[in-house]
Amino acid sequence: MSTINDSSLQVERGLWYNDGNIILVAERRSFRVHKSVLSQHSKVFQDLFEIAQPDAEDGMTTCPEVPLQDRADDVHMLLQRFYGVNWFGDGNFEWSLEEVARLTRLAHKYQITDLLEQGMARLQAAFSDKLCDFDAYFGARKGEDGKCSVATQWTDAIAVVDLAYATDTLTMLPAALYVCAQLDPYSICHGVVRADGTIASLAQQYQKLCLSGKNALRARHLCKSAQLWEKMESSCILDCKAHALSRILKASVVDCLQSECNDALSDCHIAQYTLSEDVICSRCLKSVKGMIAKYQDALWKELPRYFNLGTWDQLRKSSPVGTASTD
């Protein structure tokens, strides 16, 4: 610890208590808070303050300073939780998964048990080892065109990849890397810009896993698009196979190529084929939907292998007790 005497630091008025006895500094933003409050929640801070401290020197203030290597916005969110705001229960405020992941990372770093447990539970509900849970989160975020907005959750997934490794909760990795694989290669290697202008990026070792999985998923998705319409309902009285197959097959493959889509779990290709005079009938549509569901289940079972992660069972055995679900 040291004493603070830099007047250029930005004081966080909402978290600057005149009777505070410790100043946390992150990205040149300062927070004057109480050792007792920090110690109450964090084992790391508790141990830090138990170490004998030297007398404070004269300066702008006699309050000792602790520099933190964390984002100031994250520290701000964490301290708000320390001073009476429920961990993730802010009424009308909707937390993004990236914000949950960022707070959960701090909870892991500073050994804040309650926050860590609640944060991990939220993240695992989205980046699950079960397809139904993954769909429940990402499938609910579809646009008006019926296409899943899985590709809009990149910063969430990037944050979760790092956290999954840090906490040994490896069952979150396949889903998180799958979402990251929707990025273009440049963004996978160089990161994506957050809303605040900072860069969210994968560590180099995770970039290799993501790029490898991306290529495999793209090949699988292209094959699915080409094979999806090969089997139509044999008893179709409208002869859908003869009239619609070639057009739909060409359209789906071209769409896959032009969009550079790797979302092999998506059923977005079928959403555009509604019942009208120039598309397939309801019986054939039902048949194709059934094939898609079987394909998605089969792909999900093999998803960890696309990222060289082994099997779901191996990941569950590697994760902490109580963090992985079972099929």
40: nearest Cα among 86, 83, 97: 83
List per-residue pLDDT tens for the chain, 327 residues long. 444 455 678 998 889 999 999 999 999 999 999 999 999 999 999 999 988 555 545 444 578 999 999 999 999 999 998 998 666 665 445 677 888 888 999 999 999 999 999 899 989 988 999 999 998 887 655 544 444 444 456 778 898 998 999 899 999 999 999 999 988 899 999 998 887 788 889 999 899 999 999 988 888 877 776 666 666 556 666 666 555 655 666 666 666 666 556 677 776 555 555 444 456 677 777 777 788 888 889 999 999 999 999 999 999 988 764 444 544
d(CA 265, CA 94): 26
Q: Spell out where 122-209 has E strands.
A: 192-193, 199-200
Spatial contact of 214 and 262, defined as CB atoms under 8 Å apart: yes
List own/partner pairs for 85-94 with CB under 8 A and 24 or more apart.
87/114, 87/115, 87/118, 87/119, 88/118, 88/119, 88/122
Spatial contact of 174 and 315, defined as CB atoms under 8 Å apart: yes
pLDDT score for 197:
83
d(CA 179, CA 157): 6
Extents of the domains making up the chain: 1-85, 220-318
**Fold of the 1-85 domain:** Potassium Channel Kv1.1; Chain A (3.30.710)
End-to-end CA distance of the chain: 49
Residues 6+ apart with CB under 8 A from 245: 229, 230, 232
187: nearest Cα among 154, 138, 229: 154
Q: Which two tokens stand for residue 83?
A: 């001073």
pLDDT score for 175:
94
pLDDT score for 193:
87
C-beta atoms surrounding 121 within 10 Å: 13
pLDDT score for 146:
45
As beta bridge partners, residue 52 has none
Spatial contact of 235 and 281, defined as CB atoms under 8 Å apart: no
Spatial contact of 148 and 268, defined as CB atoms under 8 Å apart: yes
153: nearest Cα among 169, 168, 139: 139
The structure's pTM equals: 0.79
Q: Which two tokens stand for residue 178?
A: 């799958």
